[in-house]
Structure 1
Amino acid sequence: MTTLQDATGHALTGATAAALDAFEQASHELRCLTGDPAASIERALQAAPEMTMAHAFKAWVYLLGTEPEGLPVARAACEAGAALPGTERERLHLQAAGLLAHGRWHEAARALEDLSLRYPRDALALQAGHQVDFFTGDSRMLRDRIARALPAWDATLPGYHAVLGMHAFGLEETGDYAQAEAQGKRAVELQPRDSWAWHAVAHTLEMRNRPADGIAWLEPNSASWALGSFLGVHNWWHLALFHLELDHHDEVLRLYDEAIAGSGLPQVLDLIDASAMLWRLQLRGLDVGERWQPLADRWAPLVRQSLYAFNDLHAMLAFTGAGRADEQRRLLQAQDAALALGDDNAGFLREVGGAATRAVMAFGDGDYAQCVALLRPVRHRAHRFGGSHAQRDLLDLTLVEAALRAGDQALARGLCAERIAMRPASPLAHRLMRRSAAAGLTA
């Protein structure tokens, strides 16, 4: 029997024609972050239960959302795939997914790096590796993993847009904003439904403090990047962030209510955005009403274990905003238990996450000096527990506000000078500087 191949020429052990169609649909959906790739890959497995690569794909789908309930599903998919015949490429996928499913983030990243060096046209390997680089805060590999594969790609290959969009994000995270913007816009031209490419350009505009351009980029085009996209909430968050920079607070709250928190679903990536936006509003002294309570309700069942420190930080924002002392303590206990395990998340906690999570709790308790003491040692290495520059800016904003409230005028002034140097037109940066310069600061 002839072994079928995917659209970029890779053999697919155990595939049938119907399974191949469903697999390509799932691949397109995952590359664009739209639709339901989990459902599509299930159709592939129903058509061909012994399709090895479909099991590997399923594992990645359930791993890359960092959802706690995804881990057992991913582990089972890896086990099912490992019991079947497979090519070297398929085996490497299952090996890398298995490493990630057991908390070995850095080893998974290296396994995917080796896979992509051997098979540079494997878009799934590039995408999985790119996401792991994001979760581990490896900005250079966000760029270079994709750059290594670019010579093997061109516009005739399905998925080229996604490779360009990923490269754009890597360029942005390493400070090459002009090339990142151009690369991201080229990706969107090729595939207007590529949510990651829209997102990459939004990041370049955020980092260059161009909020009006960011609104012009996202607002008129939401039908392309939001409709049916599971990155939609995050891109709405970016739009709200641009409005926040311009002090459009009513619009930010509208976007929060209608688009960021509106689904009410317990999806971790969406909850991160909701927590981060409410915290930024609260740092500005704005009343967010009762919005913290339902958000804390959504976080509560997801942090019985500490699986990823970056998520823990955002759960703590919600528990602190909502005044949930029991949930705060439970989360800290989960982190203590995770430290004892010694996996990569324990490293994320030791490097950054533990201190950052406790700093948020200290801020909520009004112990601003303790918040400052916890954040200062970790702020320059915060990339080591994941996220983007835009997301980690929350730590800097919290540190500035804590310094102001603690009465540390010299530190606050220095931090504000940093911010103005990077964002000379930012109204917030100048307001913070005026506060730091005012006499008689009180905690």
Structure 2
Amino acid sequence: MNVRKDSLGNPLSGAQPSSVQHYEQALHQFQCYCGDPLATIDAAIAERPDFVMGRVLHAWLHLLGTEPLGLPVARDDLEQARQWPANPREQAHLAAIGRLVDGHWHAARRILEDLTLDHPLDGLGLLAGHVLDFYVGDARMLRDRITRAFPAWSPAMPGYHALLGMHAFGLEECGAYARASASGHAALLLEPRDAWAHHAVTHVLEMQGRQHEGIAWMRDRQRQWAEDNFFAIHNWWHLALFHLDLGDTASVLELFDSAIAASQSPLALDLVDASALLWRLHLLGADVGARWQGVAERWQAFADSGHYAFNDAHAMMAFACAGRSEAIRTLQAAQQRAMQGDGDNARFTRDVGAPLCQALLAFVEGHPARTVELLRPLRGIAHRFGGSHAQRDLIDLTLLEAALRDGQLALARGLAAERVDAKPGSPAARVLLRRAAG
């Protein structure tokens, strides 16, 4: 029997030439965060319903956005794929998907880790594992999962740009900024539309406080990351952060209105960015008008899910600032249920998500001392509920502002000094240090 293979030599059960072509196109779109990979993989499945990796990619696309509504779709993909013969590599993908739909994020990552140790040329396995490493805040594996695969690859192989881009982000989260920048730029030379590689370089510029370079970097490459790209809103958020660090709140609000909120995206990943940006403005005392109401309205569908603690925290920001008392109670009840479950989100919520939500609510209600009390223990463990250093910086910013408002100036001075040391050229950090000086 003639077994079809992808361009890297991975056998594909139930495939025919056109379905392989659709699969590889969808994977490339997913690696670049461009186009419509769901429509592309749907075409492959329509041609061959028994194409196992078609179902696998379809499931991962629905799972890796942290959307609660993606779970039943992935379960259906799993049931469909298990009807057909599958090779051991494909069976490992299905096992990882099965663990994730049951809420076991770490078990899914371990299966994918072993899969790509045995099959380092499985680009989808590397990508799915990398994204899950991000969601659980495992910076070392963000880097090392990819590092382990490099000996099997060469620059001429399709998808090598994605390997470089993922490695760049892992390096950045581990603080290896020069190497991260080099790897990200190398990826973009191979594939200019690789939004994850662009994003990795952006993170380097953000972490080093290179605001003007960051704005130029984003604007010079805007066509590559902002057009037909489902990672665009997050990259717009990064551009807004550079302006925010310079104290240019007018540009931040303009970017929020024209790029982040204008799409009215209902997706959790986009709503996280909307909440995170408005919260930073809230900490500064900026007038954001009725903007919180629109964001809170779109978060409403997630209030009862208890699916992922990182999302819950950003929903709480919106509900608290928009005065949505019923939504707050619904979210808190969902968190209580989540903490009683056996999935990994029980720990995400218990360790970080629930106390963070309490702290955010206390801050909005005018209780800065309680905010400080709740946030100080979270600083060293916040990575446990996912996100990047840049995203979790919101916790430190909130702690610092609460300390200032409560008159805990020694703590505020220490926190501000940390920020100035990390970003000596940051005007925003200097402002905080001056305020803490009293």
TM-score normalised over the length of structure 1: 0.98
State the one-letter code of the partner of 2:163.
V
Q: Deviations over 1:310-365 (max 9, x none)?
A: 00000001111111111111111110011111310001011111111111011111
Unaligned runs of 5+ in 1: 439-443
How far has the Cα of 1:18 moved from its partner?
1.9
The aligned residue for residue 170 of structure 2 is 170
The aligned residue for residue 53 of structure 2 is 53
1:134 aligns with 2:134: yes
The aligned residue for residue 183 of structure 1 is 183
Question: Matches of 1:420 and 1:362 in 2, distance apart?
Answer: 27
Question: Matches of 2:125 and 2:94 in 1, distance apart?
Answer: 11
The aligned residue for residue 369 of structure 2 is 369
1:380 aligns with 2:380: yes
Moved more, 411-420 or 286-295: 411-420
The aligned residue for residue 349 of structure 2 is 349
State the one-letter code of the partner of 2:418.
E
Question: Matches of 1:184 and 1:221 in 2, distance apart?
Answer: 13
How far has the Cα of 1:7 moved from its partner?
1.2
How far has the Cα of 1:208 moved from its partner?
0.7
Question: Matches of 1:185 and 1:264 in 2, distance apart?
Answer: 32
Q: Where in structure 2 are the equivalents of 1:289-300 lying within 5 Å?
A: 289-300=289-300
The aligned residue for residue 360 of structure 1 is 360
How far has the Cα of 1:417 moved from its partner?
1.3
State the one-letter code of the partner of 1:66.
T
Q: Where in structure 2 are the equivalents of 1:47-126 lying within 5 Å?
A: 47-126=47-126
Question: Matches of 1:162 and 1:417 in 2, distance apart?
Answer: 37
Question: Matches of 1:435 and 1:349 in 2, distance apart?
Answer: 33
State the one-letter code of the partner of 2:55.
H
How far has the Cα of 1:98 moved from its partner?
1.1
The aligned residue for residue 147 of structure 2 is 147
Q: Deviations over 1:391-414 (max 9, x none)?
A: 000000000001111111111111
The aligned residue for residue 199 of structure 2 is 199
1:307 aligns with 2:310: no
Unaligned runs of 5+ in 2: none
Moved more, 392-401 or 23-32: 23-32
State the one-letter code of the partner of 2:407.
G
Q: Where in structure 2 are the equivalents of 1:16-55 lying within 5 Å?
A: 16-55=16-55
The percent identity for this pair of structures is: 54
State the one-letter code of the partner of 1:172.
E
How far has the Cα of 1:303 moved from its partner?
2.4
TM-score normalised over the length of structure 2: 0.99
Q: Where in structure 2 are the equivalents of 1:249-328 lying within 5 Å?
A: 249-328=249-328
Question: Matches of 1:420 and 1:23 in 2, distance apart?
Answer: 47
How far has the Cα of 1:156 moved from its partner?
1.2
Q: Deviations over 1:206-236 (max 9, x none)?
A: 1111011111111121110111111110001
Moved more, 109-118 or 318-327: 318-327
Runs of 4+ with >6 A deviation: none
State the one-letter code of the partner of 1:166.
M
Question: Matches of 1:322 and 1:47 in 2, distance apart?
Answer: 47
RMSD of aligned Cα (Å): 0.8
Question: Matches of 1:435 and 1:333 in 2, distance apart?
Answer: 38
Secondary structure at the residue paired with 2:35?
A: coil
Question: Matches of 1:209 and 1:436 in 2, distance apart?
Answer: 20
How far has the Cα of 1:173 moved from its partner?
0.2
Moved more, 428-437 or 104-113: 428-437
Question: Matches of 1:302 and 1:331 in 2, distance apart?
Answer: 8
Conservation of the 8 A alpha-carbon contact between 2:109 and 2:133:
yes
Question: Matches of 1:328 and 1:168 in 2, distance apart?
Answer: 38
Secondary structure at the residue paired with 1:156?
A: coil
Q: Where in structure 2 are the equivalents of 1:240-251 lying within 5 Å?
A: 240-251=240-251
How far has the Cα of 1:379 moved from its partner?
1.1
Q: Deviations over 1:416-443 (max 9, x none)?
A: 11111111221111211221121xxxxx
Question: Matches of 2:426 and 2:220 in 1, distance apart?
Answer: 24
Q: Deviations over 1:44-67 (max 9, x none)?
A: 000000011111111101000001
Conservation of the 8 A alpha-carbon contact between 2:210 and 2:425:
no
State the one-letter code of the partner of 1:93.
H
Higher relative contact order (CA 8 A, sep 6+): 2
Question: Matches of 1:152 and 1:269 in 2, distance apart?
Answer: 32
How far has the Cα of 1:145 moved from its partner?
0.2
The aligned residue for residue 408 of structure 1 is 408
State the one-letter code of the partner of 2:166.
M
Secondary structure at the residue paired with 2:285?
A: coil
How far has the Cα of 1:169 moved from its partner?
0.1
